[in-house]
Amino acid sequence: MNGIYFDHAATTPTRPEVIDAMLPYYREKWGNPSSLHSSGREAAEGMEGAREQVAKLLRAYPEEIVFTGSGTEADNQALIGTTIAQEKKGDHIITSAIEHHAILHTAEFLEKRGLKVTYLPVDSYGQVDPEAVRAAITERTVLVSIMHANNEIGTLQPIEEIGALCKERGVLFHTDAVQTAGHVPIDVREMNIDLLSLSAHKLYGPKGVGALFVRKGVRIAPLIHGGGHERGRRSSTENVPGIVGLGEACRLAGKDMEWESEHNGALRNRLIERVLAKVPDAMLTGHPVERLPNNASFCVRYIEGESMLLNLDFEQIYASSGSACTSGSLEASHVLLAIGLPHDVAHGSLRLSVGRGNTVEEVDRFLEIFPAIVEKLRAMSPISAGRPASDFEGGADVHEHGREEGGE
């Protein structure tokens, strides 16, 4: 791809080493891992090797890893599978207002079938208060699901603390770690996690493959029924090359995490400091410190996120915005509304997510171009006319999650 790619939270390029690891499973080792002959066995060996690699990244046991078709599927499996398995115990789950739609829409699906769901609010940085989790747990609560880091604003949650209090109350704790697995250290036992979702394409692996960590002893009903693959937890002949790619991506991520986190953190900090210095009426969204090393997200007042994206795209700079364009109308991101931003501010969101291949030169090229784009758009914008270069006070007006589709 030509240009400057600042959209690693949407997806990452597949690492060449990952492709090299996958190719033999298309070319030579294409057996069915359930077959008893040696062709099947070599495919199964590849898959089991990958299970060990994924487990190692999370400090889990290999038999606790269930391969899925995506992060979305892992999230669905976690919520639907655990609530079915515990239907005699209770009918209440707790999540947050800023989860990915893979969680929110699944929770809504369950709600329509009679489950009770509490959507916890977050503070202006996007953090859930562990005490609010504690207060929301009832005798009927069977699961708490709070994401490890938010995909739009990059805020990290106090997962360990939330996990500890769930453990204390005997409630299962799931975390959507799609944005953090392979990017920040995870130890499922130290962090008191019972279930965790991840996705290969967010950590330089292939698309269409993910995994759910299910701690030993946790009961979970399958979503997909059939031949009893994955110890009866996810039937269907496995995507062996994809799984091998996920394993290799996890191995590489573990090996490179320290370097990558420093590299990304330095680029992120440069973006944040300089955008705030060069662009009037721009604000950082998300937590100033407790955030993903690769996420720099902003709201730029008086302009639309989409206009910024199109103008950046014209310069071959690829970024993302929190708003989703649905059937011609723009809806503000449920995450930005939940942190208390008014609609007009939320519409001007821009997410830059850097990765291992980005350079300081690319950041500086962006910083050269972006202020001029903002100035041009503001000159054209009817909403900027006559408005003072003001602050971002205005408070929360909506705390419910929105209904827009998409978003990574």
Q: In the stretch 141-170, what mask flags binding to ligand PLP with x, by CB under 6 A? A: ------x---x-------------------
Q: Give 72 or 307: the residue with its C-beta nearer to ligand PLP.
A: 72
325 as an active site residue: the answer is yes
Site string (86-125) toward ligand PLP, x via CB under 6 A? --------------x-x-----------------------
Both tokens assigned to 342? 């008014």
Comparing CA positions, the residue from 182, 187, 185, 178 lying closest to residue 148 is: 178
Provide the minimum distance between the beta carbon of 94 and ligand PLP in the complex, in angstroms, as a whole number: 17
**Residue 102 CB, nearest distance to ligand PLP (Å)?**
4
Q: How far is the CB of 390 from ligand PLP (least distance, A)?
A: 32
Q: Which member of 130, 154, 206, 210 binds ligand PLP (CB under 6 A)?
A: 210
Residue 50: which of 20, 21, 28, 77 has the closest Cα? 21
Residues in CB range of 328: below 8 A, 6 or more apart: none
β-partners of residue 352 are 296
Stretch that binds ligand PLP, among 81-89, 173-181, 183-191, 212-220 (CB under 6 A): 173-181
Q: How far apart are CA 270 and CA 356, in angstroms?
A: 15
Q: In this chain, which of 199, 323, 333, 358 binds ligand PLP, going by CB under 6 A?
A: 199
Identified binder of ligand PLP from the candidate list 7, 64, 176, 281, rule CB under 6 A: 176
CB 392 within 8 A of CB 46: no
Question: Smaller CB distance to ligand PLP: residue 11 or 124?
Answer: 11
Are 183 and 199 spatial neighbours (Cβ–Cβ below 8 Å)? no
CB 12 within 8 A of CB 200: no
Burial 234-259 (b: 16+ CB within 10 A, else e): beeebbbbbbbbbbbbbbbbbeebee
Task: Find the catalytic residue in 166, 250, 299, 325.
Answer: 325
Q: Which of residues 68-87 bind ligand PLP (CB under 6 A)?
A: 70-72, 75
- Nearer to ligand PLP (CB atom), residue 281 or residue 408: 408
Do 284 and 277 form a contact (C-beta atoms < 8 A)? Answer: no
Q: Which residue stretch of 49-57, 171-179, 245-253, 273-281 sits at the interface with ligand PLP (rule: CB under 6 A)?
A: 171-179
Q: Which residues of 159-198 are buried (b: 16+ CB within 10 A; e: fewer)?
A: bebbbebbeeeebbbbbbbbbbbbbbebebeebbbbbbbb
- List 82, 179, 192, 323, residue binding ligand PLP (CB under 6 A): 179
Q: How many residues bind ligand PLP (CB under 6 A)?
A: 14
Q: Which listed range, 66-74, 107-115, 159-167, 382-390, lies at the site for ligand PLP (CB under 6 A)?
A: 66-74
3-state secondary structure of 30: coil
- Of 163 and 342, the one with the shorter C-beta distance to ligand PLP is 163
The residue with its CB nearest to ligand PLP is 71
Identify which of residues 178 and 373 has a Cβ nearer to ligand PLP in the complex: 178
Minimum CB–partner distance for residue 24 and ligand PLP (Å):
24
User: From the CB of 208, what's the least distance to ligand PLP, in Å?
Assistant: 8
How many C-beta atoms lie closer than 10 Å to residue 289's C-beta? 8
How large is the C-alpha radius of gyration of the chain?
A: 22
Which DSSP helix (H) or strand (E) runs through 197?
A: strand 195-199
The contact set with ligand PLP (CB under 6 A) reads 70-72, 75, 100, 102, 147, 151, 176, 178-179, 199, 210, 408
Catalytic residues: 325
